[in-house]
Homo-oligomer: A and B are copies of this chain.
């Protein structure tokens, strides 16, 4: 039985093995993913991002717990969590968090948690995350939570992988932060004010609300990091019924407060995506972005194989001696590479 078939059959060990192969960019992982890909497209992908200190991880744990232990009459969902830490390119911070988490949620076969630090990804963080999500999707996980730390370009790239993006805030993280958030707000489908039992929650919510009014996109533009292309999303009128206004949900993750409301907001957004056809748009945007990042990585490695180390070193030395400029070095290297 192939690895892909074992994953489709629900074998956890096979799943873990495939995820490792993908993280290490192993050819057999790529082959298995090729077999699995036609089984993807069923899961609902939930991105969770926000600044450090907002309690994202506790929130994600609670959210998973809630999907696993729903109120009577609501069906239980299979949950996967992919925790990505682009801010630790050096240390294995994500892995530590994983252990703490495993203790809380382990033993439930309907849940699978995978952490990834930037160091673990060879082909770039976003494409590796995309592949992992596809494996979980094919393996029948119904809700896949993609959690990232911070608010940089890597987080925005990863948030683009999701159908529903949660941006998590918390009271009392300072004023300057507010200015920074304006950018990340535009990727939010749902705003969560976690630690809502802390003082200052009204101020935080008020600030978010006024920023929402300011920032509210009548037109969303996603910067394409891969091919440096900008894809404008369809224009949406503010009186349009199909407009999604990001709700603000207060939670206290450590006590489970606000979790039913959050789950409901996610379900509402899922319905909104289905009804408006936006789900398909997002799937298309996501796959195109992934394709472009993969192409970029492949072009570089193909080129690198076509040029000798000595050619490369010679041009590099001329650059370092400032005999040629970086752009002149690029021209020299690419012409060298194309001859090969």
Contact = CB atoms under 8 A, between A and B. Distances in A.
How many A residues are at the interface, by size bracket? 35 or more
A contact face: mostly helix, strand, loop, or mixed: helix
A245 interface: no
Nearest to A334: B298
Contact of A174 (B119, B173, B316, B329): B173
Contact of A299 (B149, B155, B288, B300): B300
A226 B125 CA distance: 12
A285 to B, nearest CB: 10
Interface stretch (A71-79, A85-93, A246-254): A85-93
Interface in A17-68: 30, 33-34, 37-38, 40-41, 51-53, 55
Contacts of A183: 87-91, 93
Given A90-B186, A151-B150, A186-B90, A330 B174 contact: no
Given A124-B228, A153-B89, A173-B53, A330 B298 contact: yes
Contact of A221 (B88, B90, B322): B90
A339 to B, nearest CB: 14
A108 interface: no
A191 interface: no
A333 B295 contact: yes
A304 B227 contact: yes
A291 B298 CA distance: 17
Interface string A317-331: 001101111111110
Contacts of A302: 334
Nearest to A177: B52
Number of copies: 2
A305 B186 CA distance: 32
Contact of A303 (B299, B304, B325): B299
B182 A119 contact: no
Q: Which of A96, A330, A333 has the most CB of B within 10 A?
A: A330
26 contacts: A30-B327, A34-B327, A37-B322, A38-B323, A41-B322, A52-B179, A53-B175, A87-B183, A88-B182, A89-B153, A90-B182, A90-B223, A93-B180, A119-B223, A149-B180, A152-B153, A227-B300, A228-B300, A288-B320, A290-B326, A291-B316, A291-B329, A294-B326, A294-B330, A299-B303, A299-B334
List the 10 closest A-B pairs by CB distance, nearest first: A152-B152, A53-B174, A37-B325, A88-B183, A299-B299, A34-B325, A52-B180, A53-B176, A90-B186, A52-B177
